[in-house]
């Protein structure tokens, strides 16, 4: 299960980040301005945000086997179709539909974790999955630049889209929504998986009122909004910034575009283990909120520091360290949704990821507007540092011990192992 989640994250970010490496070539070929490209980059994120909750809810109702297969097939098809774009309008439309298709991927994997892993292992599982996303992000820029140099940007999108088709076929063949129905799961493994209780009822009504009125849920969304805002600079404008603004060559630009994802990948493995360890030794508040506050605040400081140094190499290194810092808390971000969501894990993670990705819609547009109006690449980093600092304080408003809809007889308690 964890191997499939890791590979899904790799493919997701290969397809998502590919356009950032291709952006300078697409802009030149289709005669797009920086602001035009900002709208193209944000079209994906807008659709991703809008369809995240419905697809997470669908996973709670139908199971991750069917829903994830459809999700991956859809986004792979529109990754390939990106290479067929002939102008601004068609490119925006294709990227919007790509985002609509990819929505729900991570919430449905998170739901799978809630059924395939005991509570004590879910932070580490999320850490490994998001390590995969950073491997995909790390490989995407240099791999895309090589493929674009050899084959052009259009064929490159076709090649990237093919990876998802292979994953979807293997997933549908192997995965079972109930681990007890999998022929390779023996009684001992099933007992370990279900040490916190059996699988939740998929037909239980979704507590929409409790979800909408939960201050906990809104605090989580606010926290993750700040995370998504900062992340989308790396997913959209980083290669352009490194090559066209800082003056790196294609080779060195590809290396420095990969560096933040390498740092983030290592941080995800460390952070996933750390949040589980802190949960066992210090409790959920230290494991989720304490870790999150420190990671986000350090990221804000490093982002601001990148504006104070002159050498391009140091700017690139500090930005890489900033993403590594905030990603130390990424396992905690998703584990806290499982803490409070439990049998509604799909819709809770979908809500967090959907609403917060509005920050991802905003970030590329802010960069485009500031660059076009004030010809400044520094002001966007000031804004990002402030946003990250706000996210650090949002962590302090989150209570990981309070469930959205407590199960009967359990009140607001959590499993002792967490």
For position 396, what pLDDT does the model report? 97
Can you give the pLDDT at residue 417?
Answer: 28
pLDDT digits (tens, 9 = 90+) for 196-236: 776 554 556 888 899 999 999 999 999 999 999 999 999 88
Give me the mean pLDDT over the 157-167 stretch. 94
DSSP 103-151: TTHHHHHHHHHHHHS-GGGHHHHHHHHHHHHHHHHHHHHHHHHHHHHHH
pLDDT above 70 for 350: yes
pTM here is 0.78
Question: Domain ranges in the chain?
Answer: 2-180+208-395
Mean pLDDT of the chain: 89
Whether the predicted pLDDT of 336 surpasses 80: yes
Of the given ranges (143-147, 168-172, 179-183), which has the lowest mean pLDDT? 143-147
Q: How high is the pLDDT of residue 395? A: 98
- With a pLDDT cut of 90, the percent of the chain lying above it is 58
DSSP 346-408: HHHHHHHHHHHTHHHHHHHHHHHHHHHHH--SSHHHHHHHHHHHHHHHHHTT--TTS-SSPPT
Which CB contacts under 8 angstroms, 24+ apart, belong to 379-385?
380/233, 381/303, 381/304, 381/306, 381/307, 382/304, 382/307, 384/229, 384/230, 384/233, 384/303, 385/300, 385/301, 385/303, 385/304
pLDDT tens track for 236-258: 889 889 988 999 988 898 889 88
What CATH number was assigned to the domain covering residues 2-180+208-395?
1.20.1250.20
Q: CA 386, CA 275: separation in Å to the nearest integer?
A: 25
**What percent of the chain has pLDDT above 70?**
95
- Tell me the per-residue pLDDT of 281-332, one tens digit each, with 9 for 90 and over: 999 999 999 999 999 999 999 999 999 999 999 999 999 999 999 999 998 9
Residue 306, pLDDT score: 98
Cβ atoms of 279 and 418 closer than 8 Å: yes
Conformation bin of residue 227: beta by default, left when phi > 0, alpha when psi is -120 to 50:
alpha
Residues 69-82: pLDDT tens digits? Answer: 999 999 999 999 99
- Res 58 pLDDT > 50: yes
DSSP secondary structure of 223-287: HHHHHHHHHHHHHHTHHHIIIIIS---HHHHHHHHHHHHHHHHHHHHHHHHHHHHHHHHT-HIII
Pair of tokens at residue 109: 């994997």
Query: Is the pLDDT score of 347 beyond 90?
Result: no
Predicted pLDDT of residue 77? 95
pLDDT number for residue 282:
94
């Amino acid at each position: 299960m964890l191997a499939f989640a890791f590979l899904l994250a790799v493919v997701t970010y290969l397809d998502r980040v590919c356009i950032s490496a291709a952006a300078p070539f697409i802009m030149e070929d289709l005669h797009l301005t920086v602001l035009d490209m900002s709208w193209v980059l944000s079209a994906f994120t807008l659709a991703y945000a809008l369809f995240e909750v419905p697809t997470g809810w669908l996973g709670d109702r139908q199971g991750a086997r069917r829903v994830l297969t459809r999700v991956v097939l859809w986004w792979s098809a529109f990754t390939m179709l990106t290479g067929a774009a002939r102008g601004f309008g068609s490119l925006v439309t294709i990227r919007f539909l790509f985002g609509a298709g990819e929505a729900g991927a991570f919430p449905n994997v998170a739901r799978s974790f809630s059924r395939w892993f005991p509570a004590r292992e879910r932070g580490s599982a999320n850490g490994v999955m998001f390590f995969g996303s950073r491997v995909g992000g790390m490989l995407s820029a240099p791999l895309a630049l090589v493929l674009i140099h050899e084959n052009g940007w259009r064929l490159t999108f076709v090649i990237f889209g093919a990876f998802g088709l292979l994953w979807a076929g293997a997933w549908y063949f192997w995965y079972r929504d109930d681990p007890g129905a999998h022929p390779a799961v023996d009684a001992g493994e099933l007992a370990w998986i279900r040490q916190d209780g059996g699988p939740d009822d998929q037909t239980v009504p979704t507590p929409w009122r409790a979800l909408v009125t939960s201050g906990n849920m809104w605090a989580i969304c606010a926290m993750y909004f700040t995370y998504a805002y900062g992340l989308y600079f790396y997913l959209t404008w980083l290669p352009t910034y490194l090559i066209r603004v800082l003056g790196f060559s294609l080779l060195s630009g590809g290396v420095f575009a990969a560096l933040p994802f390498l740092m983030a990948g290592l941080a995800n493995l460390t952070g996933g283990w750390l949040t589980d360890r802190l949960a066992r030794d210090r409790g959920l508040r230290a494991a989720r909120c304490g870790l999150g506050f420190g990671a986000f605040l350090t990221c804000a400081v490093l982002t601001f520091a990148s504006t104070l140094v002159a050498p391009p190499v140091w700017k690139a290194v500090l930005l890489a360290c900033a993403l590594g810092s905030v990603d130390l808390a990424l396992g905690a971000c998703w584990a806290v949704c499982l803490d409070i969501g439990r049998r509604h894990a799909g819709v809770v993670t979908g809500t967090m990821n959907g609403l917060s990705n509005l920050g991802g819609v905003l970030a590329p547009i802010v960069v485009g507007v500031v660059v076009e109006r004030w010809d400044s690449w520094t002001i966007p980093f000031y804004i990002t540092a402030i946003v990250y600092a706000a996210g650090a304080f949002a962590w302090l408003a989150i209570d990981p011990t309070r469930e959205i809809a407590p199960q009967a007889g359990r009140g607001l308690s959590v499993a002792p192992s967490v």
